[in-house]
Structure 1
Amino acid sequence: MNKFTPDEVIAATRLWLDKAVIGLNLCPFAKAVQIKQQIRYVVSEATSEEALLADLLHELQFLQKADAEEVETTLLIHPGVLTNFLDYNDFLEVADAAVGELDLEGELQVASFHPDYQFADSDADDIDNFSNRSPYPTLHLLRESSIEKAVEAFPDAANIYEHNIETLRALGHEGWKKLWV
């Protein structure tokens, strides 16, 4: 059983989105979909990888069929499974395979966020990792067409990663902690 209610999980995720992702401009595309209320927040009750995979398959199909004007993207938050980052990271291959299994490659993709996110070849406490650290393990389902439009509208999209690293390094661990006070 999860320690928090789905409403509390969504509230924490929204706060993270507001303060970190949008507030620090880690994703310049997030603000527009948030303002238009086109983000679908789904809290999975899964306690096993198999149950999470079933939820992921359902949400991929839902997003594919949904009108993009109503649901642009989905955050599938799963606080009860894959809380260990290495297990989560391994599951990302399963998530990518699910996209392929549903024949959605080129249409949808899965981005990853986790409380203990760690880029390859980085130390666990590197501030750079915080660009992908969320309150709970989260699979972010995105439309490829939306990414293409966003990149067209934001010509420096290839530099987002570098901008995020600069922002987080300037903020530092103390600045990150102050965001949540």
Structure 2
Amino acid sequence: MALRAPRMSMDPMPSAPNPVSKLWGEWTDIEVKAATVIWVNRLVIGLDLCPFALASMPGLRVVVSSAMDKEQALDTLAEEMGYLAETPKDKPATTLVVFPPALFDKEQNVTMMLKGLEDPAEGEGRMGSLSPGEDNLAAPAMEVRMKGEIMAEDGGAAPVAAMENFVAEETQLGEEEGVKEQFFNEVEVDEEELRAESNFANFMEMAYEAIALSQDLFGDDAASEMLLLTFHPNSTFSSVPFDPADFALRSPFPTVHLLRGVDIRKAEESCERRNSTTEEIAMRNEARLRGMGYRELVEMLGDIYVRAKGVTA
């Protein structure tokens, strides 16, 4: 039986005002914080996925990043690491840094795949970089979008009744063009799935750089080190498709959890006193989530967006 999460304020520990970048779209700073705290309450604490989460809540900061590119995202993380490092060690302190999903989006990926088939030199290299930046934010002349639209050459959105019509026009030019026809006929292009996988991969790429940054800034000494945990709406580490266990690392928005080494040590000592290990906790989490099922967890995460949208305080 799931534990009932305690009532908590939307922002347990106030963080400095942070203007939301245009990458957040219609989501406000307050709504993003609300969604994040609801997620912590309902999934992390409510399902007892982390036995130490409740005790750390008084020192929790939720920071909504206004980063427009990867470098700004890393700067935000470095700043929050510095804040945690300066907090007295006898007080719990941890930060959730929440990033806009669009920061890690590469809607032009399908277009680059097409261009790569036409001209490998043109497609090469452009798919491997994080999308933010003035040049990358500009829409390409022909861009396949999630909602069955393509970008017309004038930059406006032009609806298409079926992707097949567009492909047919592009694949009637002879044997060489048959490569494209084979690509689209044999591989069903699921734009939403492609975008989600790419978004998660880009987020993890940034997270790995952040881990290296934390090593450079604070080293691995127990008294000063910083540890990073990653959460994402599309976190997928299981080899089993649609594995409910993946929800142990899924969150409403791409999120990096910053923790101090000293607090991790305290958590490990607490485990030892309970004759438990972090591995056993992970196994219990997997069993609990699989017992709930994928559909129920998808609905729980979806309900968080509904509850958070429109929150004003």
TM-score, with structure 1 as normaliser? 0.91
- Out of 70, 81, 102, the residue aligned to residue 103 of structure 2 is 81
Find out whether 1:28 has 2:57 as its counterpart.
no
What do residues 60-102 of structure 1 show as CA deviations (whole Å, max 9, x unaligned)?
1111112345551000111142251010111222011110121
- Out of 103, 111, 122, the residue aligned to residue 229 of structure 2 is 111
- Residues 1:49 and 1:120: Cα distance change in structure 2 (over 3 Å): farther
What do residues 98-119 of structure 1 show as CA deviations (whole Å, max 9, x unaligned)?
1012134342111100011011
- Residues 1:128 and 1:9: Cα distance change in structure 2 (over 3 Å): same
More displaced 10-residue stretch of structure 1: 47-56 or 170-179: 170-179
Check whether the contact 1:112–1:132 (CA below 8 A) recurs between aligned residues: yes
Structure-2 residue corresponding to 1:147:
264
DSSP-derived class of the 2:68 partner = coil
Structure-2 residue corresponding to 1:54:
75
Check whether the contact 1:40–1:71 (CA below 8 A) recurs between aligned residues: no
Determine the C-alpha separation between the residues in 2 that align with 1:105 and 1:99.
9
Paired positions, count: 178
Offset at 1:19? 0.4
Offset at 1:178? 5.0
What do residues 5-64 of structure 1 show as CA deviations (whole Å, max 9, x unaligned)?
111101000000000000001111001112xx2101111001211110111111111111
Letter of the 1:72 counterpart: A
Structure-2 residue corresponding to 1:170:
291
- Structure 2 spans left out of the alignment, 5+ residues: 1-21, 106-198, 304-313
Offset at 1:120? 5.5
- Residues 1:127 and 1:57: Cα distance change in structure 2 (over 3 Å): same
RMSD over aligned Cα atoms: 1.7
Determine the C-alpha separation between the residues in 2 that align with 1:70 and 1:147.
13
- Out of 9, 13, 35, the residue aligned to residue 12 of structure 1 is 35
- The structure having more radius of gyration, on CA atoms, is 2
- Out of 62, 65, 70, the residue aligned to residue 41 of structure 1 is 62
Structure-1 residue corresponding to 2:251:
134
- Residues 1:14 and 1:115: Cα distance change in structure 2 (over 3 Å): same
Letter of the 1:103 counterpart: F
Structure-1 residue corresponding to 2:207:
92
What do residues 123-168 of structure 1 show as CA deviations (whole Å, max 9, x unaligned)?
3x22111100000000100011111111111231331110110010
Letter of the 2:243 counterpart: D
Check whether the contact 1:44–1:76 (CA below 8 A) recurs between aligned residues: yes
Offset at 1:179? 3.5
Determine the C-alpha separation between the residues in 1 that align with 2:212 and 2:281.
26
Check whether the contact 1:38–1:69 (CA below 8 A) recurs between aligned residues: no
- Residues 1:63 and 1:104: Cα distance change in structure 2 (over 3 Å): farther
- Structure 1 spans left out of the alignment, 5+ residues: none
- Residues 1:15 and 1:129: Cα distance change in structure 2 (over 3 Å): same
TM-score, with structure 2 as normaliser? 0.54
Question: Following TM superposition, where does structure 1 have runs of at least 4 consecutive aligned residues deviating by more than 2 angstroms?
Answer: 67-71, 103-106, 120-123, 177-181
Identity rate, percent:
34
